[in-house]
């Protein structure tokens, strides 16, 4: 009798799961036009406008398109480190990150880490909005698969960086750079790029121009990883993290009374310890 009950329950679970997958897969959007065209409004933009209307607030969408080649490499690298370090090697879903997120959330007993890739985030922003349900998550994963099959990685990343929410009514890197730092995107420095990448976790709560301690830690983590990978010079890293410039190399002075011919070479900065324990893990 017990085996029969277990079998029935297992069958019901399978049927329920199949029904949920069928419902999630119903009427998935055609993503192929994205290869050539840019949507005027995303689902998230429409959601924010409707939320403002219901609340009786005025709202607008500040978004300006920037071609991929015009987006500064320092910003692209910072966002990849912050949000999806394996973006160019996965097929839309990062199963290692998903497993790590599930494990950490179970340990914490609450949602402290997401597992969405850049492709999944784009799918959510374009078509689904910010609703959090299992069905919506399944649809997000399915749409991400479609995006990966229909578009190049470069195009997916270009769409993401131009459409992602970066503050109240602010979408895309060009509008974000102007709003938060008063400069066009191509004038962003390494610190500003890292701060913009750091606030993607909650862009309506955190202000990159006035970062709280948590965002400062995340930005420093991003900068440290960029430096370790050779994406920033030592001088750039020192400036971005607010450190004093490295001491110049000793130069022989023929007018000095006792030139020190044993003087050491240029001072170097020891690699700081990885602050993963102190800062939120990246990506999250």
Q: What is the pLDDT, as a whole number, of residue 237?
A: 97
Give strand pairing partners of 170.
62
For residues 67 and 83, is the Cβ–Cβ distance under 8 A? no
* Residue 238, C-beta contacts closer than 8 angstroms, at least 6 positions apart: 244, 245, 246, 269
Q: For residue 161, which of 149, 150, 170 has the smallest C-alpha distance?
A: 170
Q: What is the pLDDT, as a whole number, of residue 111?
A: 56
Lowest mean pLDDT among 173-182, 214-223, 244-253: 244-253
* Range list of β-strands (E), the chain: 62-63, 170-171
For 171, the 3-state DSSP assignment is strand
Q: Which residue has the higher pLDDT, 16 or 234?
A: 234
> How far, in Å, are 4, 6, 17, 188 from residue 11 at the CA level?
10, 9, 10, 56
Q: What is the pLDDT, as a whole number, of residue 16?
A: 36
Domain-by-domain residue ranges, the chain? 61-241
> How far, in Å, are 47, 166, 174, 201 from residue 59 at the CA level?
11, 15, 19, 22
pLDDT grade for 110, boundaries at 50, 70 and 90: low
Q: What is the pLDDT, as a whole number, of residue 253?
A: 40
Q: What is the pLDDT, as a whole number, of residue 90?
A: 94
Give the CATH superfamily of 61-241.
Answer: Biosynthetic peptidoglycan transglycosylase-like (1.10.3810.10)
Q: What is the pLDDT, as a whole number, of residue 113?
A: 55
Give the position of tokens 């066009």: 184
Q: Tens digits of per-residue pLDDT, 24-62?
A: 445 899 999 999 998 889 999 999 999 999 999 999 999
> Per-residue b/e over 157-174, b at no fewer than 16 CB within 10 Å?
bbbbbbbbbbbebbbbbb
- State percent of the chain over pLDDT 70: 72
3-state helix, strand, coil in the chain (%, to 5): 55, 0, 45
| pLDDT exceeds 70 at position 235 | yes
Q: Tens digits of per-residue pLDDT, 125-146?
A: 999 998 878 889 999 999 999 9
- State percent of the chain over pLDDT 90: 63
pLDDT grade for 1, boundaries at 50, 70 and 90: low
Q: What is the pLDDT, as a whole number, of residue 223?
A: 98
Q: Tens digits of per-residue pLDDT, 12-33?
A: 333 333 333 444 445 899 999 9
């Amino acid at each position: 009798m017990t085996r029969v009950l277990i079998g029935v329950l297992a069958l019901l679970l399978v049927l329920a799961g199949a029904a949920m997958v069928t419902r999630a897969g119903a009427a998935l959007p055609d993503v192929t036009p994205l290869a050539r065209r840019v949507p005027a409004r995303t689902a998230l933009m429409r959601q924010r406008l409707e939320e403002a209307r219901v609340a009786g607030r005025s709202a607008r969408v500040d978004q300006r398109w920037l071609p991929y080649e015009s987006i500064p490499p320092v910003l692209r690298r910072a966002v990849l480190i912050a949000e999806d370090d394996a973006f160019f090697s996965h097929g839309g879903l990062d199963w290692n990150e998903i497993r790590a997120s599930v494990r950490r959330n179970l340990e914490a007993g609450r949602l402290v880490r997401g597992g969405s890739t850049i492709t999944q985030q784009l799918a959510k922003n374009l078509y689904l909005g910010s609703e959090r349900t299992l069905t919506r998550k399944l649809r997000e994963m399915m749409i991400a698969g479609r995006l990966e099959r229909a578009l190049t990685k470069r195009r997916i990343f270009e769409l993401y960086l131009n459409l992602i929410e970066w503050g109240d009514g602010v979408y895309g890197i060009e509008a974000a750079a102007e709003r938060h730092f008063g400069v066009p995107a191509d004038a962003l420095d390494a610190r500003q790029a890292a701060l913009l990448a750091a606030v993607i976790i909650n862009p309506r709560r955190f202000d990159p121009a006035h970062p709280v301690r948590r965002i400062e830690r995340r930005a420093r983590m991003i900068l440290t990883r960029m430096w370790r990978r050779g994406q920033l010079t030592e001088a750039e890293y020192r400036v971005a993290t607010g450190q004093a410039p490295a001491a110049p190399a000793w130069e022989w002075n023929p007018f000095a009374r006792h030139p020190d011919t044993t003087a050491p070479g240029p001072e170097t900065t020891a690699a700081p310890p990885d602050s993963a324990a102190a800062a939120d893990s990246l990506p999250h």
